[in-house]
């Protein structure tokens, strides 16, 4: 296991400290939160942990079922106690860019239904200003080029249709993805999200604002728990 992968595993496992018996848990998507799901599955089978989960992607659903986590439909329960998910970037105000794994719409739906959000990440994801990671934006297939052009004009940057195996990447919801190459210029992520959502062909934006309560950060010195002073865990 590489050093980076080892750090991801440490962070993913550490995040499980927020999960207690009887909780309803949002299960995120990505290479770090994968270890959270594996550890929760181990606790279910070996320690009798009693939880139900709501996955944020088809891939997460498959993994959760494989490790024995009981899954429910979000609409069948009254909200979630916590969601544990990854992030592509987070800034000093705990605002996030997500969507590198193409699950941003489901991830945001789940996050909005959760009392608390815990992010697992390695220290490469911590930035002063969001935008070095291309901003993912889910768009409708209908007139997607026109939508992408509108986004490009709005943000004054290059916006690319995400491709996979020579064809447009299709999300779990049947939409396309655009990636905006803004650079580290997103000084007001709340306004940026609102402006992009005003474009009719945009389904959702990979800016997760005022949602994150804590970040479990893995770095060369080990694991650090960062708490949002305006969040629900302080």
Residues designated catalytic: 107
Contact criterion met (CB below 8 Å) for 218 and 3: no
Report the run of H or E that residue 177 belongs to, with start and end: strand 176-181
- Cβ atoms 85, 98 nearer than 8 A: yes
Write the Ramachandran bin of 143: left for phi over 0, alpha for psi from -120 to 50, otherwise beta: left
- Distance between CA atoms of 193 and 212, rounded to whole angstroms? 16
- Sheet of 135-139: strands edge to edge? 158-161, 176-181, 135-139, 202-205
Tell me the C-alpha distance between 234 and 229, whole Å. 6
Q: Are 115 and 41 in contact (CB under 8 A)?
A: no
């Amino acid at each position: 296991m590489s050093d980076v992968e080892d750090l991801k595993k440490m962070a993913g496992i550490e995040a499980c400290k927020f999960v207690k018996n009887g909780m309803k848990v949002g299960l995120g998507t990505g290479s770090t939160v994968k270890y959270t799901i594996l550890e929760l599955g181990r606790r279910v089978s070996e320690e009798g942990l009693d939880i139900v989960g709501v996955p944020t992607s088809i891939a997460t659903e498959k993994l959760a079922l494989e490790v024995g986590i009981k899954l429910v439909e979000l609409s069948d329960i009254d909200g979630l106690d916590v969601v544990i998910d990854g992030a592509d970037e987070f800034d000093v105000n705990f605002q996030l860019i997500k969507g590198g794994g193409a699950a941003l719409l489901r991830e945001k739906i789940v996050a909005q239904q959760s009392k608390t959000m815990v992010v697992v990440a390695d220290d490469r994801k911590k930035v002063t200003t969001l935008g070095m990671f291309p901003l993912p934006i889910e768009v409708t297939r209908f007139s997607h080029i026109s939508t992408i052009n509108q986004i490009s004009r709005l943000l004054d940057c290059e916006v690319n249709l995400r491709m996979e195996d020579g064809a447009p990447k299709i999300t779990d919801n049947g939409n396309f993805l655009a990636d905006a190459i803004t650079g580290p210029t997103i000084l007001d992520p709340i306004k940026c999200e609102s402006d992009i959502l005003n474009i009719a062909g945009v389904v959702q934006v990979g800016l997760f604002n005022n949602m994150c309560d804590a970040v479990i950060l893995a770095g060369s010195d080990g694991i650090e728990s960062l708490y949002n002073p305006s969040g629900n865990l302080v």
